């Protein structure tokens, strides 16, 4: 898809996306050379924004991930037309705070999108995410048209060798993945890797061809520069949509890592499962998309 068409289509939806996108040469992000001290930060006991403040500070601040005048794309889970207390989507306050940190670090533009399961306009509004993104100065972008997606190769995939990925994932300088931890009937859990289904066009292909392997395969393609796993309120059953607030428990937790597999391994344990009980975590570890061996990682634990 040509960029002019992308801009034209976005404006037609009333979103006003500007032309400040990077180039395909920026595919692997703009993380600075100095590696964060910790492989994983686990925060517990605070509100979503406060926990993120503490967690990102432990990794040297957002400036270690976002350089001045760069474009950032944030991918929360906004898949469902439900209110925040149902915990089917990422906590909107967390999304807002991440955007604010990006701008404080000097970001030029911060885009937010998801290829939603329910009607995208209602998902954006009723999740609360659109409101908080606008309040933080971010730009909501649709993911509902195939014209936004470009064909890409996934050379390390066992089942998926190619996919159509949203243009923002390809053209933005920094990619921040912000999933919510919750149960899922097909994948057992929805976390960081599963959240990447919202950046591709044909999600049904994954369900038809071995969901766990497809999740792992795509995790080898475009690793997020940062994964922020929201476990403030966790849907323990009836996921991914949930039935009612009775499905949700308060955990007031947050996991942050540059390693997408480690983030999910820690998320599984937080949920009450072992990482090797989740097939896509095992498969992604085998594909070297990251490490599920938490014992070999440097972990910072923060209690508020």
CATH (domain of 223): 3.40.50.11440
Closest CA to 260 of 231, 286, 225: 225
Closest CA to 108 of 66, 64, 65, 63: 66
Residue 225 falls inside a structural domain: yes
Q: Measured in Å, how far apart are the chain's first and last C-alpha atoms?
A: 46
- Secondary structure class of 89 (helix, strand, coil): coil
| Distance separating alpha carbons of residues 175 and 148, to the nearest angstrom | 17
- Are 1 and 167 within 8 A, CB to CB? yes
- Give residue 35's pLDDT: 59
- Give residue 4's pLDDT: 36
- Give residue 262's pLDDT: 98
Range of the domain at 189: 3-15+35-303
Residue 261 falls inside a structural domain: yes
Neighbour-count burial for 140-169, b at 16+ CB within 10 Å, e otherwise: bbbbeeeebbbebebebbebbeebbbbbbb
- Give residue 144's pLDDT: 96
| Distance separating alpha carbons of residues 264 and 281, to the nearest angstrom | 7
Tell me how many domains the chain contains: 1
- Give residue 34's pLDDT: 54
- Give residue 253's pLDDT: 98
pLDDT values of the chain reduced to their tens digit, one per residue, 304 residues: 444 344 334 433 333 333 333 333 333 333 344 556 899 999 999 999 999 999 999 999 999 999 999 999 999 999 999 999 999 999 999 999 999 999 999 999 999 999 999 999 999 999 999 999 999 999 999 999 999 999 999 999 999 999 999 999 999 999 999 999 999 999 999 999 999 999 999 999 999 999 999 999 999 998 999 999 999 999 999 999 999 999 999 999 999 999 999 999 999 999 999 999 999 999 999 999 999 999 999 999 999 9
Residue 87 falls inside a structural domain: yes
- Find the DSSP H helices in the chain: 3-12, 48-58, 92-104, 120-126, 129-136, 167-171, 192-195, 203-208, 211-218, 260-271, 279-286
| Distance separating alpha carbons of residues 82 and 135, to the nearest angstrom | 20
pTM: 0.89
């Amino acid at each position: 898809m040509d960029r002019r068409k992308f801009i034209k289509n976005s404006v037609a939806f009333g979103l006003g996306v500007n032309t400040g996108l990077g180039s395909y040469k920026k595919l692997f992000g703009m993380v600075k050379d100095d590696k964060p001290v910790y492989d994983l930060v686990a925060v517990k006991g605070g509100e979503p924004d406060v926990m993120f403040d503490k967690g990102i500070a432990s990794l040297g601040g957002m400036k270690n991930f976002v350089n001045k005048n760069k474009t950032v794309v944030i991918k929360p889970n906004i898949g469902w037309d439900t209110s925040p207390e149902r915990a089917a989507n990422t906590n909107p306050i967390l999304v807002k705070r991440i955007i604010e940190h990006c701008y404080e670090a000097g970001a030029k533009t911060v885009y937010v999108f998801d290829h939603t399961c329910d009607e995208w306009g209602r998902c954006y509004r009723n999740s609360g995410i659109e409101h908080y993104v606008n309040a933080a100065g971010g730009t909501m972008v649709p993911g509902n048209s195939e014209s936004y997606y470009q064909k890409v190769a996934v050379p390390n995939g066992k089942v998926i060798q190619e996919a159509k990925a949203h243009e923002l994932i390809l053209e933005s300088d920094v990619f921040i993945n912000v999933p919510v931890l919750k149960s899922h009937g097909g994948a057992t859990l929805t976390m960081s890797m599963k959240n990447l289904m919202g950046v591709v066009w044909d999600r049904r292909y994954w369900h038809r061809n071995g969901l766990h392997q497809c999740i792992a395969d795509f995790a080898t393609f475009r690793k997020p520069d940062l994964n922020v796993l929201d476990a403030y309120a966790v849907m323990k059953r009836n996921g991914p949509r949930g039935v009612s607030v009775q499905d949700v428990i308060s955990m007031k937790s947050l996991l942050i890592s540059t390693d997408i597999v480690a983030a999910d391994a820690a998320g599984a344990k937080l949920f009450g499962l072992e990482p090797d009980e989740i097939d896509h975590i095992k498969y992604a570890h085998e594909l070297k998309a990251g490490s599920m061996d938490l014992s070999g990682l440097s972990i910072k634990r923060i209690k508020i």
